[in-house]
Amino acid sequence: MRDLLLATTNPGKIKEVSVILANIPLRLRTPADFGLNLSVVEDSESYAGNAYLKASAYAAATGLPSLADDSGLEVQALGGAPGVHSHRFSPLPSATDHDRCQYLLKQLSAYPRPWKARFICAVLVCGISGELLRAWGECPGEIIPEFRGENGFGYDPIFLLEGQNKTMAELNDFDKNQLSHRARALQSALPALNLFARGII
pTM of this structure: 0.89
Residue 28 has pLDDT above 90, yes or no: yes
Residue ranges of domains in the chain, CATH in brackets: 2-197 (3.90.950.10)
Active site residues: 70
Q: d(Cα 84, Cα 170) in Å, to the nearest integer?
A: 24
Taken in order 102, 107, 111, 113, the sign of the CA dihedral is negative
39 pLDDT exceeds 90?
no
Q: Which of 136, 109, 132 is nearest to 122 (CA)?
A: 136
Residues in the chain: 201
Outline where DSSP puts E strands in the chain: 2-6, 26-29, 66-75, 82-83, 115-127, 130-143, 159-161
Name the nearest CA neighbour of 122 among 133, 114, 134: 134
pLDDT tens digits for range 117-167: 999 999 999 999 999 999 999 999 999 999 999 988 899 999 999 999 999
